[in-house]
Structure 1
Amino acid sequence: MMTDPGTTPSQTVGPFLSIGMEWLHDPYVVPKGTPGAFWIRGLLVDGAGTPVPDGIVETWQADPQGRFDHPDDPRGAVARTDGFRGFARSMTNAAGEWGVFTVRPGSLPALDGGTEAPHLDVTVMARGMLQRVVTRIYFAGDDRNAADPALSTVDPSRRATLIAQPADDGYRFDIYLQGDSETAFFAV
């Protein structure tokens, strides 16, 4: 007679993110004191509504003129001398809080000949996730959001999950991995 072994634990990447990647933590896209710089801060929340204490939020963005110091920029790479990195990585703390210090990016040319609204590309990794998830952060009150080709592909009822809201020291952007408030993620 066979007995039910019960539920087995799910596969997980374990608590290795902070062990293996903490030395790469740098939340500064621009140096402290950069004119116009601000924080984007938020929570990383799991499907049960619990903050995720062992996660990573990475951002990649254009500079204020909408340019990248990268060979894949179709207009050519722009060498930087002002400390702008375009990339930041923030580890979540015990309360699931993350933050990056940045400047507002410029608009980008879209593949269809139009323009992309200013945004940050975001990768999220966390314990229990075998694959990263990818999303974007747009800015509340920017009229260019309405014509953004990527944002327009998101169900209208979920677009607000991609819009950072003004806060005292910059913007607030909470990331929900699952549940009723789940952030819209892109298949890449």
Structure 2
Amino acid sequence: MVQPLGYLKESASQTAGPYVHIGCTPNFTGIHGVYDQDLGSGSMVTDQTRGERITIRGHVFDGAGTPLKDALVEIWQADADGFYNSPSETRGTADPNFFGWARCPGDMDTGEFVFETIKPGRVPFREGRPMAPHVNFWIVARGINLGLNTRMYFSDEEEANGEDPILARIEHRVRVPTLIGRREGNTVTFDIYLQGDKETIFFDI
């Protein structure tokens, strides 16, 4: 007999508080002895990793244009050949020397996040069309009820960006630049704006 579940009520939502850093990056908060190092805080690459080394730097800005100093940012991406380091990857074998995922708390003085990684290869969309090289971002911080998902594309990939099926779906074309990381040499700057005129496009996934 099916039992009614109307008595199970949804818990009230909570904004991300200090437990995010305490639970996800205890060493960063000064709590030692839980892990040798915080999960995701090590380098994503080794000397054997294939691909072009890049550094991704940026800030998370609030609606007033002030960088958040308590944001926690995660990235995940394909390797240089376009394969993910994931059990669900069925197209080929990912580079075993590339982790593909990392986590970085913003600097408590400046709010800056930094990732040492490689430029990813192109990954096919559902029907097989190649997407432009991109890095997936997930952001949490004080005042954010649900983690925010976005993407960073590369300013030196104009042709590939023009063919990308996700970027092509953005109706308001003036907002496309909010997803483009500015590349200068081996450094890519990607600032994330939560609100305002420069508000970054976020994805409902």
Tell me the TM-score normalized by structure 1.
Answer: 0.86
- CA separation of 1:41/1:13 partners in 2, compared to 1, >3 Å: closer, same or farther? same
Residue 51 of structure 1 aligns with which residue? Answer: 67
Q: Over the residues paired in the alignment, what is the CA RMSD in angstroms?
A: 2.1
| In 2: Cα distance, 1:185 partner to 1:88 partner | 19
Would you say how many aligned residue pairs link Structure 1 and Structure 2? 177
Tell which has more relative contact order, 1 or 2 (C-alpha 8 A, sep 6+). 1
Aligned equivalent of 2:137, options 108, 116, 122? 122
| In 2: Cα distance, 1:33 partner to 1:164 partner | 26
| In 2: Cα distance, 1:13 partner to 1:170 partner | 30
- CA separation of 1:11/1:63 partners in 2, compared to 1, >3 Å: closer, same or farther? closer
Q: Give ranges in structure 1 of 5+ residues lacking alignment.
A: 1-9
- How far off its partner does 1:33 sit? 8.7
| In 2: Cα distance, 1:138 partner to 1:67 partner | 17
Aligned equivalent of 2:123, options 104, 108, 113? 108
| In 2: Cα distance, 1:46 partner to 1:24 partner | 26
Residue 151 of structure 2 aligns with which residue? Answer: 136
Residue 5 of structure 1 aligns with which residue? Answer: none
Residue 29 of structure 2 aligns with which residue? Answer: none
- CA separation of 1:147/1:48 partners in 2, compared to 1, >3 Å: closer, same or farther? same
| Structure 2 residue matching 1:129: 3-state secondary structure | coil
| Structure 2 residue matching 1:149: 3-state secondary structure | coil
Determine if the alignment matches structure 1 residue 183 to structure 2 residue 200. yes
| In 2: Cα distance, 1:48 partner to 1:93 partner | 19
Determine if the alignment matches structure 1 residue 148 to structure 2 residue 164. yes
Q: Are the counterparts in 1 of residues 70 and 141 from structure 2 also a CA contact under 8 Å?
A: yes
Structure holding more strand per residue: 1
- CA separation of 1:136/1:120 partners in 2, compared to 1, >3 Å: closer, same or farther? same
For each residue in 1:32-78, what CA deviation from the matched residue of structure 2 results, as whole angstroms up to 9, or x when unmatched? 79663121001111112111111111111000000122122241453
Aligned equivalent of 1:160, options 169, 177, 185? 177
| Structure 1 residue matching 2:177: 3-state secondary structure | helix
For each residue in 1:9-36, what CA deviation from the matched residue of structure 2 results, as whole angstroms up to 9, or x when unmatched? x953322222221133516321379663
Determine if the alignment matches structure 1 residue 90 to structure 2 residue 117. no
| In 1: Cα distance, 2:40 partner to 2:133 partner | 24
Q: Give ranges in structure 2 of 5+ residues lacking alignment.
A: 1-12, 26-37
Identity of aligned residues (%): 40
Q: Are the counterparts in 1 of residues 75 and 102 from structure 2 also a CA contact under 8 Å?
A: yes
| Structure 2 residue matching 1:17: 3-state secondary structure | helix
| Structure 1 residue matching 2:104: 3-state secondary structure | strand
Q: Which moved more, 1:122-131 or 1:35-44?
A: 35-44
| Structure 2 residue matching 1:158: 3-state secondary structure | helix
